Amino acid sequence: MTSYNPLRDPDDAEVLPASLDGELRLAREYLAQAATSNIHDHVAMLKIAVGFDHRLRGLIAAIEAERGESR
């Protein structure tokens, strides 16, 4: 047991990605959105971190699906 709450539970369901092009578009849109966030707002930064985790997992899953890889 950890003394903190992890960002993601390893037992969570696997990510079902959009197409690679779709995931790239979503990642770019999220980067643009995150760039305008207030770095001094702790809650905003937590939300951005969770969003980045979600987008990156989707992008990795799309790349793996494109390559025919599976986990």
pTM of the model: 0.77
Q: What is the pLDDT of residue 70?
A: 67
Domain positions in the chain: 38-71
Q: Computed from CA positions of residues 28, 32, 33, 39, in that sequence, does the dihedral angle turn out positive or negative?
A: positive
Q: What is the pLDDT of residue 52?
A: 95
For 4-61, what is each residue's pLDDT tens digit?
777 777 667 677 889 999 999 999 999 999 999 999 999 999 999 999 999 999 999 9
Q: What is the pLDDT of residue 1?
A: 57
Could you give the residue ranges of the DSSP H alpha helices within the chain?
Answer: 20-35, 42-67
- Which one, of 10, 6, 1, lies nearest residue 50 by Cα? 6
Look-up: residue for tokens 């950890």?
A: 2
